[in-house]
């Protein structure tokens, strides 16, 4: 009955068009009423507790760092560097897009921000050089979802807080899957680009490449500081976020000088708006999460999954398919907040490593960002490229296919994630 009320309330409220934060809060209240446990003060206390979590301080800092990096000309320098290295080869601008989305993921950890930046700069260039626009848009969107699995990843922070999983372990465990996802896109693009008739970029001289590298060097140092600092035990993920924001402010104001002091206020306001949305979601989610725990919902779901509980890989397959289905109708952050607290106790009961499950959860969740009908990242690229969602969907399917294949590869061989995680983290 608890499961029926939880899912029924959430689905009905979302179908009515209610914002997901309010739907989560009201779902928690519905469970309270059913359990004869309603207390308005308890709702308020849980919302306050949901936002008052120390690791969540990383969210506004990383969002601010991302805003400063984009305004400070970081995106353009990263794309210039990638273009000078591989822009001249067949299908070169596609490889530039993959390299740029991977590198920019190391700055903001936000799929939307990175994809919008790359699409705005590269799609006009790709169109002018004869690249098929739907295929180019599909590639950039597929590359954009690398950002949530590269440190500093906001979905990892939210997942870590929601399920009480080590955020620094999640960060380290995401590095290899991100690199493999990028390699998969390179392979697919290589197969497709051979048949394209496009204009090639002029080959850069070594002097031009050196200049592009020096120009982008300040930007490239940041991921090294974040990952090296956490692996070396110099700071926590939350402290790393503060370091990233201060570093981004310093570089944008004093090194690249593309951000003026008067612009900083506008950037702070933009970061505050994004932060308020994420934090309100986290606050509202704790109301339903609290009632999910109190109503022992994980135990009910476990009884449904009873036949596969003794087979971890089969259980992972079932859960990944469930998350794929949920991702088609729900965005990534709400999926984490709703399903994380329900599924994590089941996974630990089945003996599955929490960090491994966290990486797999986000990997699958990101596919929903580029798979219709929700596909927020694909929609952003469609807006920039001025093409329909239907044509972009046709353009993205080879990349979506390879990213889905990697998910099931990681289910079959968990060591691909767990072994590098041990090395990076120790």
* In contact, 10 and 19? CB cutoff 8 Å: no
Residue 236's SS3 state is coil
Residue 177's SS3 state is helix
Q: In order along the chain (426 residues), what is the average pLDDT of each group of 10 residues?
A: 77 81 85 81 82 82 82 82 85 89 79 83 88 92 90 88 88 90 94 82 85 87 82 81 87 87 89 86 82 75 76 89 84 86 88 93 92 82 88 92 93 86 65
> How far out from the chain centre does Cα 132 lie?
26
418-424: Cβ within 8 A, 24+ apart: 418/173, 418/353, 418/355, 418/356, 420/172, 420/173, 420/175, 420/176, 421/169, 421/172, 421/173, 421/176, 421/355, 421/356, 424/172, 424/173, 424/175, 424/227, 424/231
pLDDT score for 363? 94
Please provide the size of the chain in residues. 426
């Amino acid at each position: 009955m608890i499961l029926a009320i939880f899912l029924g309330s959430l689905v009905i409220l979302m179908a009515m068009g209610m914002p997901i934060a309010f739907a989560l809060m009201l779902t928690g209240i519905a469970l309270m009423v059913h359990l004869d446990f309603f207390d308005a003060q308890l709702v308020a206390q849980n919302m306050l507790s949901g936002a008052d979590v120390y690791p969540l301080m990383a969210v506004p800092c990383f969002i601010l760092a991302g805003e400063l990096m984009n305004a400070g000309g970081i995106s353009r320098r990263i794309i210039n560097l990638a273009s000078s290295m591989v822009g001249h080869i067949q299908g070169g601008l596609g490889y530039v897009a993959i390299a740029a989305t991977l590198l920019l993921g190391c700055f903001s950890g936000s799929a939307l921000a990175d994809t919008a930046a790359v699409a705005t700069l590269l799609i006009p260039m790709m169109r002018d050089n004869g690249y098929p626009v739907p295929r180019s848009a599909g590639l950039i969107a597929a590359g954009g979802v690398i950002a949530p699995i590269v440190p500093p990843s906001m979905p990892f922070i939210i997942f870590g807080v929601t399920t009480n999983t080590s955020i620094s372990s999640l960060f380290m465990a995401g590095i290899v899957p991100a690199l493999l996802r990028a390699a998969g896109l390179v392979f697919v693009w290589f197969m497709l680009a051979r048949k394209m008739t496009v204009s090639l970029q002029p080959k850069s001289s070594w002097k031009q490449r050196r200049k592009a590298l020096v120009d982008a060097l300040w930007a490239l140092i940041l991921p090294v500081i974040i990952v090296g600092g956490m692996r070396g035990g110099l700071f926590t993920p939350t402290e790393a976020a503060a370091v990233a924001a201060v570093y981004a402010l310093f570089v944008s104001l004093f090194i690249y000088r593309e951000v003026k002091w008067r612009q900083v206020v506008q950037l702070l306001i933009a970061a505050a708006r994004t932060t308020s949305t994420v934090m309100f979601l986290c606050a509202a989610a704790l109301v339903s999460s609290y009632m999910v725990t109190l109503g022992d919902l994980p135990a009910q779901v476990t009884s449904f999954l009873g036949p596969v509980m003794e087979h971890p890989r089969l259980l992972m397959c079932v859960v990944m398919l469930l998350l794929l289905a949920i991702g088609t109708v729900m965005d990534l952050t709400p999926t984490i907040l709703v399903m994380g607290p329900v599924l994590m106790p089941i996974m630990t009961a089945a003996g599955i490593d929490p960090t491994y499950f966290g990486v797999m959860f986000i990997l699958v969740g990101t596919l929903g960002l580029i798979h219709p009908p929700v596909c927020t990242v694909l929609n952003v690229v469609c807006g920039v490229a001025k093409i329909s969602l239907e044509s972009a969907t046709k353009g993205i399917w080879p990349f979506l296919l390879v990213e889905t294949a990697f998910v099931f590869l990681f289910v079959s061989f968990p060591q691909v994630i767990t072994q590098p995680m041990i090395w990076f983290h120790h």
